[in-house]
Structures are given as structure tokens and as C-alpha cells.
């Protein structure tokens, strides 16, 4: 995640904690109410460095999950091919 977005998330959440009404805040920043509450649940209490690290870990986790699915599929295809080529030992 870009450094500016991390800083923006932290700033928006801090303004909300200081008592700025959410409706005014989301209108000022140009985000939806859903985005604000998503940020609040995911990033409340974190600093901008922690938000960036959390987001990078989240993105890496998603990438690794996709890689796992791809490799599992490759493995299944190879095992299927191998079982067709080898004689049965029954």
C-alpha cells in the first residue's frame, strides 16, 4: 500500500476519534461510509507504519493462497497423469 494512503487512513481514523462526525468526515475525505467502517475495523489503533505492514502482509497472504491453489491444481493434474501411465498394482 502506498505511504500516502496509509497516512490518510490513520488521519481519518484519528479525526473520527477526536469527535468529528462520521458523515462530515466521509464527505470531506471522499470515501463511502462502508469504507470508513472497514478501515475502522481493520486499522483502529494502528499507526501508519503498522497499517502499511498489515496491508502488505494481507496482500502477501492473498498472493500465497493463490499460489497454493495453483500448485495444488498442478499437483492433482500430475498425479492423475501419473496414475494413468503407471500400471495398476491391484
Overall number of domains in the chain: 1
Task: State the cell numbers at 31.
Answer: 470515501
Residue 69 structural domain: 3-85
List, for residues 26-82, the tens digit of each pLDDT value: 999 999 999 999 999 888 887 778 878 888 888 899 999 999 999 999 999 999 999
Question: Buried b vs exposed e over 35-64: b needs ≥16 C-beta within 10 Å?
Answer: ebeebbeebeebebeebbeebeeeeeeeee
Residue 90 covered by a domain = no
Distance (Å, whole) CA 23 – CA 36:
10
Please report whether residue 66 resides in a domain: yes
What pLDDT score was predicted for residue 42?
A: 85
pLDDT of 1 above 70 = no
Give the pLDDT of residue 58: 83
List alpha helices for the chain, DSSP H: 3-17, 22-29, 33-43, 48-85
- The answer to whether position 70 is within a domain reads yes
Query: Does 2 have pLDDT greater than 90?
Result: no
Res 80: pLDDT: 92
Whether 61 is in a domain gets the answer: yes
Amino acid at each position: 500500500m502506498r505511504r500516502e494512503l496509509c497516512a490518510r487512513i490513520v488521519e481519518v481514523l484519528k479525526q473520527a476519534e477526536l469527535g468529528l462526525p462520521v458523515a462530515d468526515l466521509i464527505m470531506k475525505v471522499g470515501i463511502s461510509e462502508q469504507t470508513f467502517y472497514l478501515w475502522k475495523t481493520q486499522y483502529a489503533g494502528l499507526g501508519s507504519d503498522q497499517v502499511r505492514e498489515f496491508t502488505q502482509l494481507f496482500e502477501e497472504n492473498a498472493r500465497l493462497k493463490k499460489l497454493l491453489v495453483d500448485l495444488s491444481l498442478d499437483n492433482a493434474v500430475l498425479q492423475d497423469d501419473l496414475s494413468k501411465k503407471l500400471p495398476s498394482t491391484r
